[in-house]
Amino acid sequence: MKRTTFQPEAVKPQATVSYSVRTEPVKPQPIATQPVNAERVKPQATATHPVNGEPVKAPVPRTNRVSLELVKPGASRVFVAGSFNGWKPEQTPLFHRGNGHWVGDLAVGAGRYEYLFVVDGQWLPDPNAKESVQNPFGGKNSVLVVWE
């Protein structure tokens, strides 16, 4: 085993950091296996750090808030349906803010989503969308791109 001493410049001169480097090849060791009762095995909730063995929490997917707005005077109910909610309009209603303005917030992760507004039962593309794609029903879906 080779010992090396390292002294960073940012550390006071009297402080040193030591570490060891293993230079000889490591032979793989066989793993002893025993029959395991499947009912007693519980999935591991957290992983462990490969160096210090401490528990490591899985990264939480980042959620972004996106606000959609539609101006549709005379509408009585407005929803948005898309790939972010399984195309189920009732899951994402928009709220009337007066003067025909309807707004709603989405909590979505980074990605590319297709969507349509549903105004009093009629499916309509977003007139403010920067991008749209052909859908299988002969119309256009609006496209929402969310970056991290």
For the chain, domain boundaries: 64-146
Q: What is the pLDDT of residue 79?
A: 98
User: E strands of 34-146, at which residues?
Assistant: 47-48, 55-56, 64-71, 78-82, 95-98, 101-108, 111-119, 122-124, 131-134, 140-146
Q: What is the pLDDT of residue 17?
A: 40
Q: What is the pLDDT of residue 16?
A: 40
- Which one-letter amino acid corresponds to residue 46? T
Report, in angstroms and rounded to the nearest whole number, the Rg of the chain calculated over CA atoms. Answer: 28
Q: What is the pLDDT of residue 57?
A: 72
d(CA 87, CA 99): 27
Q: For the chain, list residues with pLDDT below 70.
A: 1-47, 49, 58-61
Q: What is the pLDDT of residue 141?
A: 98
d(CA 60, CA 123): 34
Q: What is the pLDDT of residue 144?
A: 96
Q: What is the pLDDT of residue 28?
A: 53
| C-alpha 24 chain-centroid distance | 42
CATH superfamily of 64-146: Immunoglobulins (2.60.40.10)
d(CA 118, CA 6): 65
Helix (H) or strand (E) holding 20: strand 17-21
Q: What is the pLDDT of residue 38?
A: 47
